[in-house]
Amino acid sequence: MWIDCGIHAREWISPAFCLIFVHYSLSFYNQNPDITQILDNMDVYVMPVMNPDGYKYTWTKNRMWRKNRSSKKNTSCIGVDLNRNFDANWCTIGASPDPCEEIYCGAFPESEPESLAVANFLRSHKDSIQIYLSIHSYSQMLIIPYSCSMDEAENHSDLYEMVKQAAENIRRYYRSVYTYGPGAKTIYLAPGGSDDWAYNIGIKYSFTFELQDRGHYGFLLPPSHIQGACNEALTAVKTIALKVIEKT
Ligand code: 0X9
Ligand code: ZN
């Protein structure tokens, strides 16, 4: 299983989730039966911050920055949306060729060092990685492919059942509502995303989670909400990982 956090700079709950996930794994292996079963059956790659320059910028200059911080000749606008820079219907409707836009797709697929590095790693490990998981915020959604087109994924019913069960577990344990479904139909058409790209290279259990909240604090989720938000996401990760283990 691969989990990345912090593709988008301002979504601070996301890097927090990666850290809490690692801490939980190290603390509760051999204590909690779910995480024990997961770690007994799979290796987990965790990338805590995919967009470190952007993330730093949100701490120092502009809390609402989304993209990376790359600069380009012929424009004073900075940054590429890393979640529009992957090779999945790259730069079609839902992304922008304008470097000044928040959803700028970059000069070509994998033009950015961050997306290129992740794509290279996943390409070289695709035969062993079964689950791709990307953590974002906010809106409380569990998203499955596709987001880059209105097509249905070939194993749609499998994926749909998994996110449905994950959302039900979150609801039961924490009384929080998460919606779920294919990205293009659940949020909006958004091509060039890492989840669709990973799915297309053969990682058939591919997900994007949008964590808390549903808009009250938005990206500015207060510290007191971090643990609760991450517990919900952890429930979803466990539900999905255990399902995949059961199938194999
Ligand atoms: O638009 C995005 O990249 C994600 N939403 S966010 O508010 N965190 O920016 C949704 C990503 C869903 N997946 C793809 N678009 N592939
Ligand atoms: Zn995001």
Domain ranges within the chain, ordered by starting residue: 2-247
Q: Which contiguous run of DSSP H or E holds residue 144?
A: strand 141-144
Q: Residue type for 227, please?
A: Q
Q: Which atom of ligand 1 is nearest to the CA of 66?
A: 9
Convert the pLDDT of each residue in 94-117 to its tens digit.
Answer: 999 999 999 999 999 999 999 999
Q: Residue 145 to residues 58, 112, 169, 204: CA-CA distances in angstroms?
A: 29, 23, 21, 9
Nearest-angstrom CA–CA distance, 142 and 2:
16
Residue 23: pLDDT band with limits 50, 70, 90: very high
Q: Which CATH superfamily is domain 2-247 in?
A: Zn peptidases (3.40.630.10)
Give yes or no for residue 125 having a pLDDT over 90.
yes
2-5 and 45-47 beta bridge pairing: parallel
Helices (H), the chain: 13-28, 33-41, 52-60, 113-125, 156-174, 183-186, 194-200, 226-247
Residue nearest to atom 3 of ligand 1 (CA): 83
pTM above 0.95, yes or no: yes
Query: Could you tell me if the CB of 7 is within 6 A of ligand 1?
Result: no
Identify which of 13, 14, 81, 83 to mutate to test ligand 1's pocket (most ligand atoms within 8 A of the CB): 83
Query: Could you tell me if the CB of 136 is within 6 A of ligand 1?
Result: yes
Nearest ligand, CA of residue 83? 1
Task: Give the active site residues.
Answer: 210
Convert the pLDDT of each residue in 60-82 to its tens digit.
Answer: 999 999 999 999 888 999 999 99
Which pLDDT belongs to residue 248? 86
Identify which of 96, 147, 150, 151 to mutate to test ligand 1's pocket (most ligand atoms within 8 A of the CB): 147
Nearest ligand, CA of residue 95? 1
Convert the pLDDT of each residue in 149-158 to its tens digit.
Answer: 999 999 999 9
Query: Could you tell me if the CB of 182 is within 6 A of ligand 1?
Result: no
Q: What is the ipTM of this complex?
A: 0.99
